[in-house]
Structure 1
Amino acid sequence: MAEWQRIAQTVTTPATLDDPFIVTVPCLHKDQAPEIAEWIVEEIQVNVESEDGQRIKRQNAYNAQEAMDRWRREAESLNSAQRLARNMARPKFMQIERHARRAALASWAWLTMPGGVWDHKQYFDPRVDPERGRQFETSGETTRRHHHKYQGYEYFYDIWSNIHYGYVGRYIGFSEDALLDGAGLAQFASDVAEFKMPENRSNTNGEGFRRFDDDTDYLSVRLGISMFERFTPQQLTGPLLMNEITQVEYPEKVGSKIPHTCQGVREREE
């Protein structure tokens, strides 16, 4: 039987070494934010036409002077006796307007308060909404709980309901000032209830009660208001909303917007 024998051993070195290079591994974590954007757009489109939304819109639209002028015009075709009888049942137009505004505010506060039907943050909890809670679960996808990934960032789940608040609120007749100051007042009350000192953010939010609102919440409400001014409900889409969100200068911090890192996801799971 023939035997193998080592005759010689040679080591070669290339004349030149290649420049070092970086291998970029694509992130495999799911972009969850676009799915939430689609859902919030659907919520806006449904709620502006809902029974609650339309009732509040009518209450906000009631104008005492216009109602009084209309009432007077209707009396022009009546004779003297009919006018006299009609004047005895003259409506209290200003009182009706005040009651309509109060009713609109009360309904709005009830719908948007923590745990209200239009407080969307609760639906991320699987105990409240099992299907959506599982769909938007962030474990294994983001570096922080309740933050949802889009491209290189993770966005806090508070922004969605605040965008809805701004858009729907303007659609059903509340002014920009009423919405911004109302959100700030709600934040003030929440801080006091939790024995926290309300923070004055007038340098970013402006004066009035809005100065007490969280800066990310304030920016999100403003975004909803801005989109109302530029787009009809039928024009809204998930991709459009995501594009708008990426243009907002949210502060980079937990509870707002943070960079997404795959290493951060792994560390969260450890």
Structure 2
Amino acid sequence: MRLGYFIRLGDKTSCGGTVLGGERSVTLLGVPRSREGDRVSCGKSTGEFHIVGGVDQLKSNGRRVAGSLDSTSSCACNALLIPSSFTTQYESLRRVKPQPAAVPRPDTLQNCGHPDQLLSITTYMAGEINRNVRHPTVVKIRQLNRYDASQDTRAYKALPWHARWWARDPQVVAKACRDEAVALWVNQMDNNSDWNYRAKISQLQNSSWHKQGRYLYHVGLWTGIHYGYLGLAAGFRSGVLLDGIDGQTPLEQRRTLRHWHTPAERVAISIGMELYKRHPEGVVTAKAILHAVVGAERENWGAGRREHGCSAYARLSVARPGGAVLQDA
């Protein structure tokens, strides 16, 4: 059985919509729990739609409770419902139909029978990035990082010596701003489960690897892109983001962050920063993210990207006809 999570009022859909209905008499962590038939919006078309499907073994007032593995939106996107809380889970009784292994033709690596997955993920991530770039904490960090002590320093030095006793040294203020900005950033990235896209997308796709063309990409990619984009939006320099800050690295080690990030993490953060330079202030698109990911140099990925099993089989079947079929990862 697979573990899913309950859907609540305000949760998002993979197409950028929002769950608009919930059972107010039953709440999860203070938020109404949603059921099949509750209203939901679509991020790509106007109008209201409803939740289709629910947890078979759990009904409330005659309607099945909405779950991440058992419910979708009735919009044309057939969008997935994305849980915002991972503290309440259930076991889905739906059985996944086994799919026969697809044997690819040697003359094409794309005709393997396994669909590409990144466009739906980048559609979701574009909506998240465009919303989070305006988050109050990100705005505050940007203001702190933009403090310029040079002008205040000239005014401070122009004061009589006795007046300086009552004035704050701008250099001290600048350091305090930088320290507060770093503290807010690390806390937001560490402790905000809403921004844990590695866990969210793994649960939604029921896998840690996702196919695009001949490659599989690791789910950790999306957290790095989000980190890099919001980091520049918050006013941090590129070098600081790559080498100076990491919430899971002790303070004394943050200056050596280059030795702690894997190549895949570094390329993901770099993609996020480049996307911000090209599409600043929350106007990044799903296709822009997809093109940046697919266009990244192969040698930079490290263990974050690997070849899809069918691609490897196609090459193997050309080199050794009758060879064993490689299983899809």
User: What secondary structure does 1:267 align onto?
Assistant: coil
CA contact 2:126–2:285 (8 Å) conserved in 1: yes
What is the aligned counterpart of 1:31 among 99, 116, 125? Answer: 116
TM-score by length of 2: 0.53
Q: Specify the alignment match of 2:243 in structure 1.
A: 181
> How many angstroms does 1:89 deviate by?
4.0
User: What secondary structure does 1:219 align onto?
Assistant: helix
* Shift in CA distance, 102/154, structure 1 to aligned 2, threshold 3 Å: same
CA contact 1:166–1:222 (8 Å) conserved in 2: yes
CA contact 1:166–1:223 (8 Å) conserved in 2: yes
CA distance in 2, matches of 1:23, 1:109: 49
What is the aligned counterpart of 1:49 among 134, 158, 165? Answer: 134
* Shift in CA distance, 22/217, structure 1 to aligned 2, threshold 3 Å: closer
Q: Specify the alignment match of 2:188 in structure 1.
A: 111
Identity of aligned residues (%): 22
1:171 aligns with 2:219: no
Give CA-to-partner distance per residue, 1:203-261, whole Å, 9 cap, x none: xxxx9531331011111111212222222244411111111111112449884112223
* Shift in CA distance, 156/115, structure 1 to aligned 2, threshold 3 Å: farther
Q: Specify the alignment match of 1:216 in structure 2.
A: 264
CA distance in 1, matches of 2:291, 2:236: 26
Counting matched residue pairs gives: 209
CA contact 1:59–1:104 (8 Å) conserved in 2: yes
CA distance in 1, matches of 2:301, 2:274: 24
> How many angstroms does 1:26 deviate by?
3.0
1:244 aligns with 2:321: no
* Shift in CA distance, 254/214, structure 1 to aligned 2, threshold 3 Å: closer
CA contact 1:153–1:258 (8 Å) conserved in 2: yes
CA contact 2:310–2:328 (8 Å) conserved in 1: no
1:65 aligns with 2:150: yes
Higher relative contact order (CA 8 A, sep 6+): 1
Q: Specify the alignment match of 1:4 in structure 2.
A: none
CA distance in 2, matches of 1:154, 1:247: 14
Aligned partner letter, 1:243? H
Structure in which a larger fraction of residues adopt helix: 1
User: What secondary structure does 2:268 align onto?
Assistant: helix
Aligned partner letter, 1:55? K
CA contact 1:176–1:225 (8 Å) conserved in 2: yes
1:260 aligns with 2:308: yes
CA distance in 1, matches of 2:274, 2:185: 20
CA distance in 2, matches of 1:148, 1:64: 46
Give CA-to-partner distance per residue, 1:26-56, whole Å, 9 cap, x none: 3332322111112222222111111010011
Q: Specify the alignment match of 2:40 in structure 1.
A: none
Greater shift, 101-110 or 230-239, is seen at 230-239
CA distance in 2, matches of 1:62, 1:174: 12
Runs of 4+ residues deviating >6 angstroms:
21-25, 70-73, 83-88, 263-266
CA contact 1:216–1:250 (8 Å) conserved in 2: no
Question: Counterparts in 2 of 1:225-240, with a 5 A limit?
Answer: 225-240=273-288
Aligned partner letter, 2:224? N
Q: Specify the alignment match of 1:90 in structure 2.
A: 167
CA distance in 1, matches of 2:239, 2:106: 51
CA distance in 2, matches of 1:91, 1:155: 50
CA distance in 1, matches of 2:224, 2:144: 22
Give CA-to-partner distance per residue, 1:170-191, whole Å, 9 cap, x none: 11110111101036x66766xx
Aligned partner letter, 1:137? N
What is the aligned counterpart of 1:155 among 197, 217, 224? Answer: 217
CA distance in 2, matches of 1:253, 1:57: 30
Aligned partner letter, 2:182? L
CA distance in 1, matches of 2:176, 2:300: 43
User: What secondary structure does 2:211 align onto?
Assistant: strand
Q: CA RMSD in A?
A: 3.7
> How many angstroms does 1:148 deviate by?
0.5
CA contact 1:48–1:171 (8 Å) conserved in 2: yes
